[in-house]
Amino acid sequence: MSTREIGVAIIGYGGMGRAHSFGYAATPVMAALPVRPVVRVITGRDAEKVAAAARAYGIPEWTTDWRSVLDRPDIDLVDICTPPGTHAAIAASAAAAGKAVMCEKPLATSYAEARAAVAAVDEAGVLNAIGFNYRRLPAIGLMKRMVDDGAIGDVRLWRATWLSDEFTDPSVPFDWRFERWQGGTTIADLGAHLLDMALWMVGPIAEVAAQSSTFIRQRSVPGGSRNVEIDDASAGLITFTSGAQGRIEMARSAVRRPCDFTVELNGSHGTLFFDYARLNELWFGDGADRMDLYGMRRIRAEHPTHPHASQLWPIGQGIGYGESFVDQVADLMHAWDAGRFDPDFAQGARVQAVCDALELAARDRRWVRLTEITEAAVAPIGRPAD
């Protein structure tokens, strides 16, 4: 075990702050690392809540001023776990201070801000990463490897769904998640992970069409109500530059669907299918199988030869959500001296471009080419983070 420490500051103490804290704490237990991450401080706007989080997560310091950590010489990596609308501004400030940056997805709530964040880390020359943690599930990693190895031939069809029941209850009050600039859309929140996989496995996207709906149009606030600014559900059609077709659906209004996502690829001579409800499995249909074995084969994606599995639990013990953050941290630490994280901010911006295109397509009810988004003038980073 290396004794060289990488000092980490986590910005944000909520659900993602907790998940990232777990990753930093658990990774040195699970993996031999060239450098050791040490979370030194966590920040948040509510003093009482961030103090409680620091105690629960085993972090020795906390503060309500995230900017104060940027000047600390014992902080090497700033990990951003705040609402999406604040990501780009915090990332730019951290990069200007010479810190490596890890940012939870989505990178921003607009492509313009995402591009500005990319420009900030490029100008500063700092390491940067985007938190697409589901890439680190062994079954997803195996799916990617099998596609690259030609196991299903040329990819012709890609489809993915992400269903949640987070917003089904109309009594859920208005908060930042329903505010467009700060929370982003359901397309960006749930779809970002799926679109990352699409770009990673299939390749660039040429154009999209989409539809969006908001079923509960107002949410309560003290003394009244406020209009919801985002979609409850969206669906899209995708044309990849390779000629492959794609389908995507995202909803936070699917009753009794807590966090259910699926990814399927159909190729010229095979099929791969993943269902997060059974996240230790990958299903493979091989067109070259004997006809009397017609159907899909279940692969237990826990073997040490599978991506990310060797440093986790022995085969048969199962891998869960938390392990995706363990492998994410392990990848960051192994890449520390190599000088490049993957996926990085540039990938986050590519994903955000597709999100923006889907939103525009839904608004205008037409096909939108990605160049309409990527070739538009890039505005400066927007609303500053408090």
Per-residue pLDDT at 1: 57
Per-residue pLDDT at 385: 47
- Identify the DSSP state of 278: G
51: which residues sit within 8 A by CB, 6+ positions away?
62
Please give the average per-residue pLDDT across 132-150, as a whole number. 97
* DSSP per-residue string spanning 208-220: EEEEEE-SS-EEE
Bridge partners for 38 per DSSP: 7
Angle, alpha carbons 252-233-221 (nearest 5°): 65
Instruction: Read off the pLDDT band of 107 (50, 70, 90).
Output: very high
- Predicted confidence (pLDDT) at residue 258 exceeds the cutoff of 90: yes
- Rounded percentage of the chain residues whose pLDDT exceeds 70: 97
Q: Is 96 exposed, middle or buried (0-12, 13-18, 19+ CB in 10 A)?
A: middle
Cis peptide before 106 (omega within 30 of 0): yes
Instruction: Read off the pLDDT band of 382 (50, 70, 90).
Output: very low
Rounded Cα–Cα distance for residues 300 and 101 (Å): 34
Per-residue pLDDT at 256: 97
Q: At 220, list the tokens.
A: 């309560």
Over the stretch 319-332, which tens digit does the pLDDT of each residue have? 999 999 999 999 99
pTM: 0.95
- Predicted confidence (pLDDT) at residue 384 exceeds the cutoff of 70: no
Q: At 192, list the tokens.
A: 């970002």
Nearest to 213 by CA among 238, 186, 239: 186
Strands (E), 224-319: 224-227, 233-240, 245-251, 260-267, 270-275, 281-286, 297-300
Please give the C-alpha separations between residue 147 and each of 201, 233, 270, 271, 343, in angstroms, as whole numbers: 7, 29, 10, 10, 18
Instruction: Read off the pLDDT band of 376 (50, 70, 90).
Output: confident
Rounded Cα–Cα distance for residues 238 and 202 (Å): 11
Please give the average per-residue pLDDT across 179-184, as a whole number. 94
Structural domains of the chain, with CATH:
135-315 (3.30.360.10)
Rounded Cα–Cα distance for residues 108 and 373 (Å): 14
Angle, alpha carbons 308-122-335 (nearest 5°): 25
Instruction: Read off the pLDDT band of 194 (50, 70, 90).
Output: very high
Over the stretch 347-371, which tens digit does the pLDDT of each residue have? 999 999 999 999 999 999 999 999 9
